[in-house]
Structure 1
Amino acid sequence: MSSFPLLTVTAALPAVGAVLTAALPAATDARRRDLNKAVPLGISALTLVLAAVIAARFVPGGARFQFTEFHSWISDFGIGYSVGVDGIAVVLILLTAVLVPLVMLASWHDADPVANDSGTFERSRRTQGFFALVLAVEAMVILSFEATDVFLFYVFFEAMLIPMYFLIGGFGDRTQGEDARQRSYAAVKFLLYNLLGGLIMLAAVIGLYVISAQHGVGTAGHGSFDLNTLTTAIQSGKLHFSPVAENALFLGFMFAFAVKAPLWPLHTWLPNAMGEATPGVAVLITAVVDKVGTFAMLRFCLQLFPDASKSFAPAIMVLSVIGIIYGALLAVGQKDIKRLIAYASISHFGFIIMGIFAMTSQGQSGATLYMVNHGISTAALLLVAGFLMSRRGSRLIADYGGVQKVAPVLAGTFLIGGLATLSLPGLAPFVSEFLVLVGTFTRYPALGIVATLGIVLAALYVLVLYQRTMTGPVKPEVSGFRDLRLRELAVVTPLIALLLVLGVYPKPVADIVNPAVRATMSDVHRTDPAPPHPVTAQAAPTTANGGGQ
């Protein structure tokens, strides 16, 4: 069983499922369409089982990368199919596998064909195309988390843009006219921003290979793309970059990851993409795909370029804090529900990146937990908001009011998702945000203090959103709302349960993550700052003088 390629199968299952789903015969009746949807849903459920097996069999404190596989791919250039997972990758793979089937359930009717003026249905193959693209995104994201070859990671880092482009541009708001043009604009903007970041990263990847070849890292006179080989050579001193070269390579990688994350001021594609996408696709964008950017900062930027990471950390910290405040301020002023959540996510990604580059164990542990908890809380809020918007047919906050009186369960779950977004104690994001702030304050106290303003603003935009949509007089357009249906409850219940459980008991996730964080801290030769007034130094004179008895 130890030789079983668990990581490959976990990524290959949704990839094969995407092909099978796309090949299903077109369906013109509702029953057949539901059968077509059941196939990708079942495949995503099996993927979740495999991800759970990875998490269960992973040994915290064991080898840094586990379940490793290697197969030569392009040997002349030192490129191999090399995969393995550390604790950070494990929890993010599990997050992805949990969210994808819930997104499918929430999006059950989002891609159904619409009737034209004559009463006949159009675009009968859209339904399985939508679910095939979702599976394709899942496969590429999982492979990105698994890849320990820099070139292999780059391939899937870029390839996931293609299915995401079609999900945004082809399966968003299906109204005609100006809205359709806005959807196309959002999809193109998403693609161009991320392609630009990817092209700059490609130049840095090539530069990394050339320098590794010059230093004899690799085999047969070639360079290497293998992460373990490169980091070992860096730590031993065999692979040494000049300061200019290391800074340039770091910036090439960091730019691509900052676009994907996104970090202010490279964030502007996100509100457009999330605003024009369906709620389920918006969850894929911000809770799944964007996590690849922050994950890659930990895995590649810090491990491959430790000196440059330390040099640029203060500047990145400042950009992160600006993103926290900027995103929260713009969220306060939004009239569109999805754009509000998009700007809130920009603020949250600021916290994640701040925790990473604080380079303290608390900050990086908090940042990794934040990736998981933000994915769960944003999915809960976005999907419940999607159920709300599907009933009214509007994204505008002003079109709602009094929903809690006609749909109390919908309003209650919306409130829990909102409270998790503002990191209420007892819900999962609180622990991660607290750790990020503690870890930041120990090294950058001024930035830590300013960042806390983001928490105050989060309370403002979340509570105002809830007040304007759920409380007050019942608007006539809202009076006929049905409460959450069984399928919708099946989507929301696991997310609420995770928010509550991880809010009270985050230890299982923290135990998996912390060894990987300690290894990353060792790679960049960073230790936690010592307390300015150690307790032991104060206690010693008291004992010597005979006091304390």
Structure 2
Amino acid sequence: MTLLVLVGLPLLGALLLLVPAERLMPGDAAVRAYGAVVSGLTFAVALFALARFDFDEPSRMQLGLNKPWASSIGLRFHLGLDGISLPLVVLTALLTFLCFLYTIKHPPTAPAGGSAPTGGSARLLTGLLLVLEVGLLGTFVSLDLILFFVFFEVVLIPMYVVIALWGGPGRRAAAYKFILYTLLGSGLLLVGMLLIAVNADTLDMTLLARRHGEGIGRNLQITAFVLMGLGFAVKAPMWPLHTWLPDAHTEAPTVGSVLLAGVLLKMGTYGFVRVAVPAAPEGAQFWAPYLGFLAVVGIVYGALACLAQTDLKRMIAYSSVGHMGFVLLGIATLTPVGINAALFGNIAHGLITGLLFFLAGGVKERYGTGDMEKLGGGMLTKAPHLASILTFAAIASLGLPGLAGFWGEMLALLGAYKPHADLPRETFVTFMVVGGLGAVLTAAYFLRMLAKLTHGPVSGVELSAPGRVAGISVYEYMAWVPLIALTLLVGLWPKTLLEVTTAPVRALLGGG
């Protein structure tokens, strides 16, 4: 029942917003506080699941629920939690709660001349974010292929509307591109899943993982994997299917960007690990070199694109292409080290890039622009606390040892050095070298950004209200400090995650 409450609580919270209750929530501030309460309770349930989880058996599905959904066609409402999904569930609940805390005093607003609804806009935004949380959590706990697909699709409309109504000047085009790319990917994903389900005669993801492709022909696995892989790659996003991401991030409001980067991108890489690789292992082996090639191209391309950007949010968006390239490279190795690197990288990217987008929103709120050329330097003088946290997030993202960003990238490169025995080692060693070059370029663009904004000469751009916003508000601290603390915790004690994920990863790869 724990997982049913976890998914059902934000859904109930969203449905209650449909009931006219102006006396109970007389203004937008009360509605935003309501969202924080509901997401806080959901986070509490996630922590309860964490407390009840048996860490001695992380590969076993726990806290499960398995009930008939549509018996005539074999659909079941099947939920469960293991060491692969547990960190993502906690991350999702945490980031959603922090976003609601942030919006209490920093609500998104449409740009001048925008079309965001005025009456009830807080109610609509709160409802959309809660539905988005339902889809995200449901994806990570679903163990039936069709149920997984339903939750996978639930996130699309809320994110589309958040971008389209509360985004920047180019929000409509960005929202259209987001929905078109992801819908096309979803169509391919559904076909691939149905090919597996029909030929395996089951929709049960745990059974498919135990069978490890047994009873499904090699050619069919190759076809199903590429179809599912394209669907997941759009969400990840993998180069060259990434072009929706920079526009969506640049135009989305701060909370939209945080959830998009922090959790929504992880749905694609999680799908590779949870569904595609264990259900079609021979297909995964066939396509792994191609996946690795596209991953390292994305790493280098993302870094070079970042060096060419002048907008802070757009630079952070392109950095996600590179960071998720390391995650995909880890998956392509088909080894426990590589898959663990991918799962570690997912969590590290969610923490660090979520913090970076919060900070980018803070910069734009204070200066009225995110253009690094216009911002100039001197932030350490004008807003020292903000500049200090931005510096921390940047060095965490570039992979400084001792912080969370280091381990995912290092382990992905280690996995590429020694890939699965049936994969071409020379090819993957080449990928490792190219990926290492991408890591150097990552350091280059973040150091360039810090040189421009924090350590450069003082610019002529003034804070919009120096006495009021040069410091950091209580709600900003409440949203940012947990991410800073977890970045340090996971970076200094990587076994916090690795001990949870290693056993289930080995089981998914057929190692028991």
- Which interval holds the TM-score relative to the shorter structure? over 0.9
TM-score, normalisation: structure 1: 0.86
1:131-157 alpha-carbon deviations (Å, 9 max, x no partner): 211111111110100000001001111
1:90-109 alpha-carbon deviations (Å, 9 max, x no partner): 00000111111111223335
SS in 2 for 1:108: helix
Contact kept in structure 1, 2:108 and 2:166, CA below 8 Å? no
Letter in 2 for 1:519: A
> Do structure 1's residue 74 and structure 2's residue 50 form an aligned pair?
no
Matches within 5 A, 1:365-514: 365-400=340-375, 401-443=377-419, 444-478=428-462, 480=466, 482-514=470-502
Letter in 1 for 2:198: V
Change (3 A) 1:333 1:275: same
In 2: Cα distance, 1:355 partner to 1:522 partner: 17
In 1: Cα distance, 2:226 partner to 2:343 partner: 22
In 2: Cα distance, 1:35 partner to 1:107 partner: 11
1:230 alignment partner, one of 208, 214, 220: 208
In 1: Cα distance, 2:197 partner to 2:408 partner: 36
Moved over 4 A (4+): 24-27, 109-117
Structure-1 residue corresponding to 2:338: 363
Letter in 2 for 1:416: F
In 1: Cα distance, 2:331 partner to 2:110 partner: 45
CA offset at residue 111 of structure 1?
Answer: 4.5
In 2: Cα distance, 1:486 partner to 1:49 partner: 21
Identity of aligned residues (%): 33
Change (3 A) 1:357 1:60: farther
In 2: Cα distance, 1:333 partner to 1:166 partner: 29
> Do structure 1's residue 157 and structure 2's residue 132 form an aligned pair?
no
CA offset at residue 231 of structure 1?
Answer: 3.4
SS in 1 for 2:325: helix
Larger Rg: 1
In 2: Cα distance, 1:242 partner to 1:515 partner: 27
1:52 alignment partner, one of 43, 47, 58: 47
In 2: Cα distance, 1:491 partner to 1:304 partner: 38
CA offset at residue 163 of structure 1?
Answer: 0.6
Q: Which runs of 5+ in 2 are unaligned?
A: 420-427
In 1: Cα distance, 2:47 partner to 2:220 partner: 41
In 1: Cα distance, 2:111 partner to 2:198 partner: 57
In 2: Cα distance, 1:331 partner to 1:114 partner: 26
2:290 alignment partner, one of 305, 308, 315: 315
SS in 1 for 2:63: strand
CA offset at residue 16 of structure 1?
Answer: 1.0
1:411-456 alpha-carbon deviations (Å, 9 max, x no partner): 0000001111101111111122211111111232221111011111
> Do structure 1's residue 255 and structure 2's residue 230 form an aligned pair?
yes
Structure-1 residue corresponding to 2:28: 33
In 2: Cα distance, 1:116 partner to 1:184 partner: 15
1:43 alignment partner, one of 32, 38, 58: 38
SS in 2 for 1:452: helix
Change (3 A) 1:506 1:73: same
SS in 1 for 2:46: helix
Change (3 A) 1:234 1:324: closer
CA offset at residue 122 of structure 1?
Answer: 6.8
In 1: Cα distance, 2:401 partner to 2:228 partner: 35
1:297-335 alpha-carbon deviations (Å, 9 max, x no partner): 001011100111011111100110000000010011101
Contact kept in structure 1, 2:109 and 2:166, CA below 8 Å? no
SS in 1 for 2:510: helix
Change (3 A) 1:125 1:111: farther
Change (3 A) 1:428 1:22: farther
Letter in 1 for 2:40: A
CA offset at residue 206 of structure 1?
Answer: 2.5
Structure-2 residue corresponding to 1:9: 5
Contact kept in structure 1, 2:110 and 2:166, CA below 8 Å? no
Structure-2 residue corresponding to 1:341: 316
In 2: Cα distance, 1:51 partner to 1:135 partner: 15
> Do structure 1's residue 266 and structure 2's residue 241 form an aligned pair?
yes
Q: Note the aligned Cα RMSD (angstroms).
A: 2.1
SS in 1 for 2:79: strand
In 2: Cα distance, 1:113 partner to 1:281 partner: 12
Contact kept in structure 2, 1:161 and 1:191, CA below 8 Å? yes
Letter in 2 for 1:511: E
Letter in 2 for 1:471: H
CA offset at residue 34 of structure 1?
Answer: 1.6
Change (3 A) 1:234 1:438: closer
In 1: Cα distance, 2:33 partner to 2:93 partner: 16
Structure-1 residue corresponding to 2:128: 133
Q: Which runs of 5+ in 1 are unaligned?
A: 174-178, 213-222, 526-549
1:370-416 alpha-carbon deviations (Å, 9 max, x no partner): 10011000011110111111111212111212111021110000000
Contact kept in structure 2, 1:85 and 1:146, CA below 8 Å? yes
Structure-1 residue corresponding to 2:270: 295
- Number of aligned residue pairs: give it: 495
Of 242-251 and 138-147, the range deviating more from structure 2: 242-251
Letter in 1 for 2:437: L
